[in-house]
Amino acid sequence: MLEVLRRIVQEVAGARDLEQALAIIVKRVKQAMAADVCSVYLADYAQRRHVLMATDGLNPAAVGQVSLAMGEGVVSVVAEAAEPLNIGNAPDHPRYRFVAETGEEFYHGFLGVPIIHHRKVLGVLVVRQRERRKFAEDEVAFLVTMAAQLAGAIAHAEASGGISRMNGEGATRLDGSVIDGLAGAPGVGIGTAMVIYPPADLDAVPDRKVTDVDAEIIAFKTAVATVQGEIQTWGERLSVHLSAEEQALFDAYGLMLSSSSLVDKVIAHIRAGNWASGALRDTIHEHARVFEDMDEPYLRERAEDIRDLGRRVLVCLQSAGRRKKPPYPERTVLVGEEITATMLAEVPRERLVAVVSASGSRSSHVAILARAMGVPALVGAHDLPVGRMEGRALIVDGYRGRVYMNPSEAVRAEYTRLAREEAELMAGLQGLRDLPAETPDGTRLPLYVNSGLISDVSPSLENGAEGIGLYRTEFPFMIRDRFPGEQEQRRIYRQVLEAFAPRPVVLRTLDVGGDKPLSYFPIKEDNPFLGWRGIRITLDHPEIFLVQLRAMLRASAGLDNLRLLLPMVSQLAEVDEAKRLVERAYRELVDASEQIAKPLLGVMVEVPSAVYQAAAIAQRVDFLSIGSNDLTQYLLAVDRNNARVAALYDALHPAVLQAIQQVVDAAHAQGKPVGVCGEMAGDPVAAVALLGMGVDNLSMSVASLPRVKWVIRNFTQAQARALLATVLRCDGADAVRQHLEQALIAAGLGSLVRAGN
């Protein structure tokens, strides 16, 4: 059964659209359960109806035509109860409603299970049988499992405009649709989608319109010829090692590739207007599906061969310069399943107006980078129809975490106004540049910036940063193909220290592992966030740690503004060991007569154990810095990059606020300062709460700095303390946020929490 399930789910995942996905589901489920009918009803909440969207067994003409009002029929009973209904004779059920058009009068046994995605009933999967009998327990279990596994695929296809397309609305189906995700970086971006995708990944290839069909066909044929040539060469090269039978495999590969069904299909797709890569993707999926349907395991496995061939042809298409992206639109909205730092960096800054990523969360690195660059971003939009977005007009609302596709004139006009107001707000905030971050009752709260890129330096200075509160040294490590040497690192650190001197610069020691991999230092483990990361790696590799420490110390010669920060500390022994190594590096340099001042040493509090041992840690070092990104993740047990649980991830959770308060009190009791350098420091709403707690400084992305300064200059410490006392009594993060947002709105700072004034 498991194998049948796996095959159906795999096949559905490869479907081009909702229509095809549903057709596969009804056909395969009916077959697997030896039922007489299988149908899918999808809920249309706008019309308040359950619509028959696919059937194998009932009258096919009824698809899309027949629907039941919500509340009507046994299908509604399943949807309302969100539970399976298994009855021997459907017409006996008091809620049964006969629908003549479907031809269902022949069927008695009924089993319906709800299709539920993220707590929402999307529809009902139904099987029927002629006999008057209930379905067996294992049949119910099978259908429930099937529905649970298919829910995600259906939700995705539905969000991609599948239902409207099935109703014949054709190419305009995405127009006016709205996709929600998570607010990654504030602001409003209006522009044109440019889809970015990883190479050699057939599934990630987007649709793209072509104008020169002939050129596209030639490119495809050339790519096929190249791959055929490669296969032949490999076959010949290996002929001495292979049996005749194995050798035949290579011939079969060559034949598959030259088969007219495959080549002609791709060409037909190109003629229909898609580019060669998109046409190839569709054809390969269609062919692979034929093999997957076969009962013979040997033949079924050929599906993977087809995909492999497809990938090879794709690589040729891409490497023949065809992966060369069309020019970035004047106002580019970068769209992708997963957007990496390098993809962001490739877009000329003046053209980039927004970022939309199907994966990620508020604190994943794409969001952090977008905020650092001041670009509005939507992340974790898992229902994003990435493959069909290229070239579309988009509006990204980075406050609400929303993207509008081909929006109506009215929506566009409204957002154009909001974007203008936003620009005015930012220009107005520039006026605060040289004013101190000081509350009306005289509390100074220095604002630092988080950095990791040299390019951040001048915007940080321009925005009135009082120093660097967190320099993530892993970025220079991530963009190289080997560990940078001591001199190389010294140069990088020196640039930052020099640019900011005499203001303080906090250099954090290497914090890789978790979601920050180094290509040249691969770590494979089951739970990377609970694994070998941060200081755990550097203490295990003193040769790497000492090189970095020496580079940092040397870089500070004559400047004396260096502060060192240790990430991911969870044990006091780590602090002691790291202190010993810092002392050793420092002694070595002093003994070699280098003139270097001893830097202040700090520890990041980002693991729950460090919260409880904050006093003991504070005793050992000069300052603490709260990494609220990881602290939230570990306190709430919510992976900061997992879009599925992203709604649970919120640094304003009362438990997180209480933990931070505890750390602040513990540090102060030891006479040590404590700052916050996680993303919450740059959230104007959270900044009020942190002000109320008495933190000594905040460090944030440069783009957030003017906003937070505006908040600090408008709330007295006493007001913030009173607000904090109230929100600490709230039940959950939503209530905390609402309360603080209201306070900002009441203080006339509403434009910081939503677009517009």
Count of residues engaged in binding Mg ion, rule: CB under 5 A: 3
Closer residue to Mg ion (CB): 206 or 627: 627
The residue among 270 and 676 lying less far from ligand PEP, judged by its C-beta, is 676
- Contact call for residues 631 and 659 (beta carbons, < 8 A): yes
First to last CA, the chain: 58
For 184, counting Cβ atoms within 10 Å of its Cβ (0-12 exposed, 13-18 middle, 19+ buried), the class is buried
Interface with ligand PEP (CB under 6 A), residue from 86, 274, 538, 628: 628
| Interaction of residue 472 with ligand PEP, rule CB under 6 A | yes
For residue 631, the minimal CB distance to ligand PEP (Å) is 7
158 lies in the binding site for ligand PEP (CB under 6 A) = no
CB of 370 to ligand PEP, least distance (A): 14
Q: If binding is defined by CB under 6 A, does position 429 make contact with ligand PEP?
A: no
> For 622, which DSSP code?
S
- Pick from 161, 162, 678, 692: which binds ligand PEP (CB under 6 A)? 678
Of 486 and 515, which CB lies nearer to Mg ion in the complex structure? Answer: 515
Residue whose CB is less far from ligand PEP, 243 or 342:
342
By CB under 6 A, tell whether 548 contacts ligand PEP.
Answer: no
Q: Does 627 bind Mg ion (CB under 5 A)?
A: yes
Query: Any contact of residue 627 with ligand PEP (CB under 6 A)?
Result: yes
Which residue, 312 or 362, has its beta carbon nearer to ligand PEP? 362
Q: How far is the CB of 509 from Mg ion (least distance, A)?
A: 12
Residue 678, contacted partner among ligand PEP, Mg ion, none, CB below 5-8 A by kind: ligand PEP
Smallest separation, CB 706 to ligand PEP (Å): 20
**Phi, then psi, of 121 in degrees rounded to 5:** -80, 115
Count of C-beta atoms within a 10 Å radius of residue 746: 9
SS3 683: coil
**Closest approach of Cβ 633 to ligand PEP, in Å?**
8
Q: Is 709 helix (H, G, I), strand (E, B) or coil?
A: helix
Q: How far is the CB of 339 from ligand PEP (least distance, A)?
A: 17
The answer to whether 437 and 690 have CB atoms below 8 angstroms apart is no
Q: Among ligand PEP, Mg ion, none, what does residue 277 contact (CB within 5–8 Å per kind)?
A: none
Closest CA to 198 of 314, 303, 120, 92: 314
How many whole angstroms separate alpha carbon 634 and alpha carbon 640? 9
* Single-letter residue type at 667: A
Nearer to Mg ion, 220 or 634 (CB): 634
Q: What are the residue numbers of the active site? A: 365, 677
Torsion angle, CA of 48/53/55/61, rounded to 10 degrees? 100
Give the nearer residue to ligand PEP in terms of CB position, either 292 or 606: 606
757: exposed, middle or buried (C-beta count within 10 Å: 0-12, 13-18, 19+)? exposed
Residue 469 touches Mg ion, criterion: CB under 5 A: no
Q: Which is nearer to ligand PEP, 467 or 627 (CB)?
A: 627
Peptide bond into 91 cis (omega under 30): no
Q: Is 184 in the site for ligand PEP (CB under 6 A)?
A: no
Q: Nearest Cα to 22, choosing from 69, 75, 60?
A: 60
Choose the one of ligand PEP, Mg ion, none that binds residue 464, judging by a C-beta under 5 to 8 angstroms depending on kind: none
Instruction: Check residue 380 and give left, alpha or beta (phi > 0: left; psi -120 to 50: alpha).
Output: left
Cβ partners under 8 Å of residue 387, min gap 6: 195, 204, 205, 206, 207
Binding map of ligand PEP across residues 506-535, x = CB under 6 A, - = no contact: -----x------------------------
Q: How far from 750 is each of 438, 616, 736, CA to CA, in Å? A: 20, 41, 16
Does 489 sit near ligand PEP (CB under 6 A)?
Answer: no
717 by Cβ neighbours in 10 Å (0-12 / 13-18 / 19+) ranks as: middle
Q: Is 677 in the site for ligand PEP (CB under 6 A)?
A: yes
Please give the residues from 146 up to 205 whose contact with Mg ion meets the rule CB under 5 A.
none
The single residue among 56, 630, 639, 683 that binds ligand PEP, judged by CB under 6 A, is 630
- Residue whose pair of structure tokens reads 């049948």 in the numeric block: 4
Taking the C-alpha atoms of residue 38 and residue 55, their distance in angstroms, rounded to an integer, is 6
If contact means CB under 5 to 8 A according to the sort of partner, which of ligand PEP, Mg ion, none does residue 129 touch?
none
630 touching Mg ion, by CB under 5 A: yes
What single letter denotes the amino acid at residue 509? Answer: T
**Residue 57 contact partner, candidates Mg ion, ligand PEP, none, CB within 5 to 8 A by sort of partner:** none
Residues that bind ligand PEP (CB under 6 A): 470, 472, 511, 606, 627-630, 677-678
Residues that bind Mg ion (CB under 5 A): 606, 627, 630
